[in-house]
Amino acid sequence: MTIHNAAGRDVGPAHLVLVEQSGAKHDIPQPSTLEAMIEAGHAMDHSGWLLRQVKVVTMHTAVARWKAGELGWRRVA
């Protein structure tokens, strides 16, 4: 899903879930799906995070998911 597509599905609050390499999860409430997608991009670009997965979740459903790999981030859902 691109940010443009996310805007069409932006039905309310979402959560940005950051999963560290250690397995620790950070669930960060966001005001909208669009804002969560933007923040997901920032999290993946931020060099200080040691993340293995980034998810955007709304209404208990993953809207987007990325996994870290040797060649960078790849979209898996």
Q: Give me the pLDDT at residue 12, please.
A: 83
Q: Give me the pLDDT at residue 42, please.
A: 93
Query: How is the chain split into domains, by residue range?
Result: 3-75
| Amino acid in position 76 | V
Q: Give me the pLDDT at residue 31, please.
A: 96
Q: Give me the pLDDT at residue 10, please.
A: 58
Give the 3-state secondary structure of the chain. Answer: CCHHHHHHCCCCCEEEEEEECCCCEEEEEECCHHHHHHHHHHHHHCCCCCEEEEEEEECCEEEEEEEEECCEEEECC
Q: Give me the pLDDT at residue 9, please.
A: 55
Q: Give me the pLDDT at residue 47, please.
A: 63
pLDDT along the chain (77 residues), means of 10: 50 91 94 95 84 93 91 85
Q: Give me the pLDDT at residue 1, please.
A: 43
Residue 22: CB partners within 8 Å, gap ≥ 6? 50
Distance of CA 23 to the CA centre of its chain: 15
